[in-house]
Chains A and B, each alone.
Chain A
Amino acid sequence: MKPFTYERAATPAEAAAAAARRPGARFIAGGTNLLDLMKLQIETPEHLIDVNGLALDKVEPTAEGGLRIGALVRNSDLAANPRVRRDYGLLSRALLAGASGQLRNKATTAGNLLQRTRCPYFYDTNMACNKRQPGSGCSALGGFSRQLAVVGHSDACIATNPSDMAVAMRALDAVVETVKPDATTRTIPIAEFHRLPGDTPQIETALEPGELITAVTLPQPVGGTQIYRKVRDRASYAFALISVAAVVQRDGSARVALGGVAHKPWRVEAAEAEVPRGAKPAMDAILADARPTHENAFKVKLAERTLQAVLAEARG
C-alpha cells in the first residue's frame, strides 16, 4: 500500500469540501473494496477521508411513503431491516445474495454503489486496462471474458458492475442523494447514476469530484412478487454470472433488471411490455443490443432461462 494521510470528517459537507481540497483523496466507509484495491496499488489515494462518523446510518420513512436509506447503513443491517424485508424484499434478497457475512457487516449502501469491477484485467496491474490506466487498451477483449459484459460495452471496456444491491435498486427506481463540495445537494435517479463505459471507462458514475453520497431513497412500495435470482459458479460468496431482479404483478406485468451483463445494472423499461408474452420475447427485447464474446455468449441464453425460472416462481 502507498502511504497516505488520514482524517475523520465531521459533517457530509465538510467531507465533500475536504475531498475537493485534496485531489487524489478518497472517502472511506466500510473500506472492503477500497482497501483491497489499495493493497494491490490499483487505487493509490494520497489522502483518506473517513466518513464513518457522519451519522448517515439511519433507515427512515419518507414523506412520500418510501424509505430513505443513509449512505452508511451497512449491507447486513439494510437486508435485515424490517421495513425493507416487508416492503422491498427484492432489496433484502439482493443484498443477502452478495459477499459474505463479514463483508456485509462492513460494506455500506453508498460503498456498494461505488464498488469497482472484478474484471480480472482490471485487477492485474501487469495487463492493459483502460479503466485502471486510461489509454492503455483493454486486455479483456479477446481475453478471458467469461464473466464480462454482453451488452452496453465498448471497444474500450467490457467490464461488468459487480453489485447485486444496485440491480435491485434499479428495479425499484431508487434515487441517490448527494452533497457537493460547495454544500449544495442534488438527487440522481439510479438509472443515471452508473455510466456505460464508452471511451471513458474510468468514469463509472455521475458523481462529480468530491461529491459525496448521503442517502438512497426508495419510492413507495410497489408490491407484487419480488424475486432476486442469482446464477454463479458456486452456491455462495461469488459474483454473478447473471442475476435477475424482478417485481412481478398479479396481472403479469413486471419490472426486470439484470446484473452481471453490463457496466451498470441493465434495465430496459420499454422491453418490459414483452414480459407477459414470456421470457424469450422479453429477454430478446431486453438484450436486443447484446454483443457477447465467444466466451460469454452463454449469458444471453442463461439470462432468458433465469427469467423463465423467475416468472415460473412468481406464478407460484
Chain B
Amino acid sequence: MQKSDAFELSRRGLMLGTAASAAVPALPAVAQAQATAAPVGSLSKVSFTVNGEAHNLELDNRTTLLDALREHLHLTGSKKGCDHGQCGACTVMVGGRRINSCLSLAVMHQGDEITTVEGLGQPDRLHPMQAAFVKHDGYQCGYCTPGQICSSVAVLDEIKAGMPSHVSADLNAAPRITAEEIRERMSGNICRCGAYSNIVDAITEVAERQA
C-alpha cells in the first residue's frame, strides 16, 4: 500500500509556510481546506493500473485522478492547468477513452486501466503522435502538450470508431479526417501559446499515415 509521500508533505509544508509568512490572515478558503488533515472516514482504498502497472492506493477521497497520478505515482507528464476541466492539460485515457483527470476522483477508478502520456511513449521510443508533434513544432512552452497528445491519439480512435462530431455534415456517414474535424474534436485542449496550426498538422500527418 502506497502511503502519502514526499510530494504531499512538501505541498503541505509549503502551505503552512505560506500561512505563517502571510501578513494578512487571508489564506483562501480552498487552500485552508486542502491543508486540513482528512477526518475519519474520508480515506478510501482503490486499485487501478497505470500504463500497465498495477497500483493499490489509500487516498483522501478528495484526491483527483490527476493528483493521484502526479503527486502519489510521480507521473508528472499530465499537467494541472485550470483544474476545472476547461483547458485539457490533464487529459489522460481511461479504458482507451480520453477524460479530464482533474474532474474525476481517483477513488472512482477502481479496476480501471489508465494511460498517461508516459505510457504512450518514452524519449527513446516515441509514440508516432509524439514524434509528429516534435517534427511539426506542435508546441511552444509545452505545458499543454501531454494533454494535446493524449487527446489527439484518442481523437483518431474516435474517428476510426465512426463517432460523429459537431461539424460532421452527415451524422450517419463515417466521419472524414479534415482540419475542421480535428479542430472541433480538439477544442477541449487549449494552447495559450497558440500552436494550433502546427498541432493540426501533426495530427493530420499521423491520421494520414494510419489511414
Chain A interface (Cβ within 8 Å of chain B)? 1-6, 8, 28, 31-32, 35-36, 39-41, 48, 50, 52, 76, 79-80, 85-86, 89, 92-93, 96-97, 99-103, 105-106, 235-237
Q: Are the C-beta atoms of A36 and B33 separated by less than 8 Å?
A: no
| Interchain CB contact under 8 A, A39 and B30 | yes
Known: A31-B104, A100-B188. A80 touches B162 (CB 8 A): yes
A1 in contact with B62 given A31-B108, A103-B100, A105-B97 (CB within 8 Å): yes
With contacts A31-B103, A97-B166 taken as known, whether A4 is within 8 angstroms of B42 at the C-beta atoms is: yes
Stretch of B81-89, B133-141, B200-208 contacting A (4+ beta carbons < 8 Å) = B81-89
Given the contacts A6-B61, A100-B88, A1 and B99 also touching, CB distance less than 8 Å: no
Closest to A35 in B: B103
27 contacting pairs across A/B (C-beta < 8 A):
A1-B34, A2-B33, A4-B61, A6-B44, A31-B103, A31-B108, A32-B100, A35-B104, A36-B85, A39-B83, A41-B29, A50-B107, A76-B97, A80-B162, A85-B164, A92-B171, A93-B171, A96-B166, A97-B166, A100-B88, A101-B151, A101-B187, A102-B188, A106-B99, A106-B104, A236-B183, A237-B188
Minimum Cβ distance to chain A for residue B179 (Å): 13
Which chain B residues border A79 with CB–CB below 8 Å?
163-164
Knowing A80-B162, A86-B172, A96-B166 are in contact, say whether A102-B151 is a contact too (CB < 8 A).
yes
CA distance A188 to B98 in the complex (A): 33
Contact partner of B91 among A35, A50, A102, A236, CB < 8 A?
Answer: A102
Q: Which residue of A lies closest to B37 (CB)?
A: A3
> Inside 8 A of A28's CB, which chain B residues have their CB?
105, 108
Cβ B163 vs Cβ A1 within 8 A: no
User: In the complex, which of the residues A4, A39, A102 contacts B98, with contact meaning CB atoms closer than 8 Å?
Assistant: A102
- The chain A residue with its CB closest to the CB of B83 is A39
- B146 to nearest A CB, angstroms? 13
Q: Is the CB of A5 within 8 A of B61?
A: yes
Contact B34 A5, beta carbon cutoff 8 Å: no
With A2-B33, A31-B105, A41-B29 known as contacts, the answer to whether A101 contacts B185 (CB < 8 A) is yes
Number of B positions contacting A (CB below 8 A): 49
A39-B30, A106-B103 given; 15 more Cβ-contact pairs under 8 Å: A3-B38, A5-B42, A28-B108, A35-B103, A39-B83, A41-B29, A50-B108, A92-B171, A101-B98, A101-B186, A102-B88, A102-B98, A106-B99, A236-B187, A237-B188
Q: Do residues A80 and B187 form an inter-chain contact, with CB atoms below 8 A?
A: no
What 8 A-B pairs are tightest by C-beta distance, nearest first?
A: A100-B188, A236-B187, A237-B187, A3-B42, A80-B163, A96-B166, A1-B62, A85-B171
Pair B164/A96 contact, Cβ less than 8 Å: yes
Q: Which residues in window 160-182 of B have CB below 8 A to A?
A: 161-166, 168, 171-172
B85 touches A89 (CB 8 A): no
Q: CA separation between A79 and B168, bound complex, in Å?
A: 12
Q: Give chain A nearest CB distance to B87 CB in angstroms.
A: 10
Residues of B within 8 A of A97 (CB): 166
**B36 interface hit (Cβ, 8 Å):** yes
**CB-contacts of B108-126 with A (<8 A):** 108, 110
Give residues 186-204 of B contacting A (CB, 8 Å).
186-189
A contact residues around B155 at 8 Å (CB): 101
